[in-house]
């Protein structure tokens, strides 16, 4: 019986693969995607520069001239390079669009994963690997689209630009999107950019539930809490203890909820959420939309951790360090507090709140680098309406929900120089089991190929 089940599973896997790659262009895309996923781009371990060079070679083979491709890196970070490619439009008065993606991935330890995280494995209708979703699915789709445009002799009215960069997954390393914005803004200048952050949601059975476009995001900022003490022998403890003082400060952060805030995007998001929620949650959302200070309504809505985070700035302790010997009173205790700051609020304002919570005995500082404050783009019909029209063809019957990301992307660097950034819909994942930033990251095979077709058609609509 077991052998029959295994055989049936293998047949299903092969059928899924055959169905997903029936077209020659899908097979070509798969080779690009597989090569990109299997190129280790963990910062300080692998090489984004290598991944960018591989994509550059594919662009050149498709017919892109050297003048249309810019590879970039800085001497002090030779492995953190990226690439910009340009497909020129026929109308010089039409502003370009930018396709943005990042090549780097979060670290993954082989001993923690069921499969090798840097080998693309197809199993049970899924592709497994680090970066299978974040963000090599989109990076591969954008690169593949540029290749297909060139191969097909497509001449857009407006210029299409591609920027694939490194450093999105860290705050401490060289960031290619930031470098481009600050040093080569002309390379990426565009009316708007399409980036990660949107997508679509699946239920546990793989059924599509809704499409989402990211319109705005929080700003990520880390803060360091430090308390010091002369210390002494552990045989004669005193109430004045660095660990206890730090613990009190961290507990104060844990017990504090930042005020409820709304942007145009989150107001639209919660209005749509209320239409699908159960009666208790729906009523609470509507009350909160009317009165953001309604704490009882906030308590009901905030039972959902995603909704809680979408309502406000959040801060959470993520790292701790204390003491110097097991038989000595601690002389120093430190904590990292990671905050996701709501649009319109500031790093300094959040710092002032954390200082108040921590008290006089704990020093609180904002860690460098300080990223730009997120600037939410508008719900521009010129951007949103084409997403809806193309979705009606590819994903009929699904509504498109505007949402604000509670995370952070490289979009903040582009928005700081006046380029609105939208997280494009089309890539459907189950957020409970996708494994993004965690173990066994995966994407449904059919979701990847469906997203590729949707985004290809969408870019063509924008480009004319």
Q: Which whole number is the average pLDDT over 318-343?
A: 97
**Is CATH 2.60.120.10 the right assignment for the domain spanning 219-366?**
no
pLDDT, tens only, 58-86: 999 999 999 999 999 999 999 999 999 99
pLDDT recorded at residue 205: 87
Sort residue 442 into left (φ over 0), alpha (ψ -120 to 50) or beta.
beta
Kindly give the pairing relationship between strand 219-228 and strand 332-341.
antiparallel
Compute, in degrees rounded to 10, the torsion defined by CA atoms 369, 372, 373, 379.
-140
Kind of pairing, strands 97-102 and 160-165? parallel
Band of the pLDDT at 304, cuts 50, 70, 90? very high
Q: What is the mean pLDDT of residues 338-342?
A: 95
Residues of the chain with pLDDT > 90: what percent?
A: 88
3-state secondary structure at position 319? strand
Average pLDDT rounded to a whole number, residues 394-415: 93
CB atoms within 10 A of CB 352: 12
Q: Which residue has the higher pLDDT, 172 or 73?
A: 73
Residues of the chain with CATH 3.40.630.10: 2-217+374-463
CB-based contacts of 326: which residues, under 8 Å, 6+ apart? 234
pLDDT at 408 (0 to 100): 85
Q: What is the CA radius of gyration of the chain?
A: 24
pLDDT computed for residue 160 by the predictor: 98
Mean per-residue pLDDT of the chain: 93
Q: Does domain 2-217+374-463 have CATH number 3.40.630.10?
A: yes
pLDDT of residue 395 exceeding 70, the answer is yes
How many beta carbons lie within 10 A of that of residue 359, not counting itself?
13
- Whether 323 has a pLDDT exceeding 70, the answer reads yes
Residue 3 has pLDDT above 70, yes or no: no
The pLDDT of residue 212 is 95
pLDDT in tens, 344-365: 899 999 999 999 999 999 999 9
Pairing of strands 328-329, 208-217: unpaired
pLDDT at position 373: 80
- Written as six digits, the tokens of 161 are 């630009």
How many whole angstroms from its chain centre is CA 153? 32
> Where in the sequence of the chain do the CATH 3.30.70.360 domains occur?
219-366
Residue 333: closest CA among 237, 238, 228: 228
On the question of pLDDT at 6 being above 60, the answer is no
Distance CA 97, CA 463 (A): 7
**Between 23 and 258, residue with greater pLDDT:** 258
∠ CA 345-347-353, rounded to 5° = 80
Contact yes or no for 235/345 (Cβ under 8 A): no
Q: Is the pLDDT assigned to residue 18 strictly greater than 60?
A: no
Residue 1 pLDDT more than 70?
Answer: no
pLDDT at 369: 86
Nearest by Cα to 244 from 122, 345, 333, 349:
333
7 — pLDDT class (breaks 50, 70, 90): very low
What is the average per-residue pLDDT within 116-127? 96
Question: Could you report the per-residue pLDDT of 230-262, keeping only the tens digit for each?
Answer: 999 999 999 999 999 999 999 999 999 999 999
CA distances from 111 to 108, 115, 116, 117 (A): 9, 9, 9, 10
State pLDDT tens for residues 186-240.
999 999 999 999 999 998 888 999 999 999 999 889 999 999 999 999 999 999 9
**Residue 148: what pLDDT?**
98
The Cα 411–Cα 266 span in angstroms is: 18
Contact 199, 138 (CB under 8 A): no
Q: Stretch 395-423: mean pLDDT, rounded?
A: 94
- Lookup: tokens for 459: 């870019």
Q: How confident is the model at residue 20 (pLDDT cuts 50, 70, 90)?
A: low
Helices (H), 98-174: 136-151
Task: Inform me whether the pLDDT recorded for 442 exceeds 50.
Answer: yes
């Amino acid at each position: 019986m077991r052998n029959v089940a295994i055989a049936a599973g293998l047949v299903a896997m092969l059928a899924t693969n055959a169905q997903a790659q029936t077209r020659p262009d899908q097979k070509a895309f798969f080779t690009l995607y597989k090569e990109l996923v299997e190129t280790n781009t963990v910062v300080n371990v692998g090489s984004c520069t290598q991944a960018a060079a591989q994509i550059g070679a594919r662009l050149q083979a498709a017919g892109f001239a050297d003048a249309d491709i810019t590879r970039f890196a800085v001497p002090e970070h030779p492995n953190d390079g990226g690439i910009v490619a340009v497909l020129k439009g026929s109308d010089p008065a039409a502003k370009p669009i930018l396709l943005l993606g990042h090549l780097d991935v979060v670290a993954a330890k082989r001993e923690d994963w069921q499969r090798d995280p840097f080998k693309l494995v197809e199993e049970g209708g899924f592709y497994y690997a680090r970066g299978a979703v974040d963000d090599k699915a989109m990076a591969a789709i954008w690169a593949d689209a540029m290749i297909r445009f060139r191969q097909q002799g497509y001449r857009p009215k407006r210029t299409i630009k591609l920027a694939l960069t490194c450093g999105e997954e860290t705050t401490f390393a060289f960031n290619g999107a930031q470098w481009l914005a600050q040093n080569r803004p002309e390379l990426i200048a565009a009316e708007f950019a399409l980036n990660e952050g949107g997508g679509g949601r699946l239920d546990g059975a793989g059924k599509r539930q809704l499409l989402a476009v990211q319109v705005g995001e929080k700003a990520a900022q880390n803060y360091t809490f430090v308390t010091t003490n002369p210390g002494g022998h552990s045989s004669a403890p005193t109430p004045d203890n660095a660990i206890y003082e730090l613990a009190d400060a961290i507990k104060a952060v844990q017990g504090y909820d930042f005020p409820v805030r709304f942007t145009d995007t989150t107001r639209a998001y919660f209005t749509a959420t209320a239409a699908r929620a159960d009666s208790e949650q729906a009523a609470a959302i509507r009350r909160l939309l009317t009165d953001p200070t309604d704490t009882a309504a906030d308590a009901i809505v905030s039972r959902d951790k995603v909704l809680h985070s979408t309502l406000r700035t959040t801060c959470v302790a993520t790292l701790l360090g204390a003491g110097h010997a097991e038989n000595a009173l601690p002389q120093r205790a430190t904590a990292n507090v990671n905050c996701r700051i709501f649009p319109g609020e500031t790093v300094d304002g959040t710092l002032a709140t954390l200082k108040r919570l921590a008290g006089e005995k704990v020093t609180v500082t904002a860690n460098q680098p300080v990223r730009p404050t997120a600037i939410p783009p508008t719900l521009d019909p010129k951007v949103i309406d084409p997403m809806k029209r193309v979705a009606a063809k590819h994903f009929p019957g699904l509504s498109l929900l505007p949402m604000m990301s509670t995370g952070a992307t490289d979009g903040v660097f582009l928005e700081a120089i006046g380029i609105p950034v939208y997280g494009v819909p089309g890539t459907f994942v189950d957020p409970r089991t996708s494994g993004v930033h965690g173990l066994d990251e995966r994407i449904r095979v059919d979701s990847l190929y469906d997203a590729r077709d949707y985004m290809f058609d969408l870019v063509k609509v924008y480009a004319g």
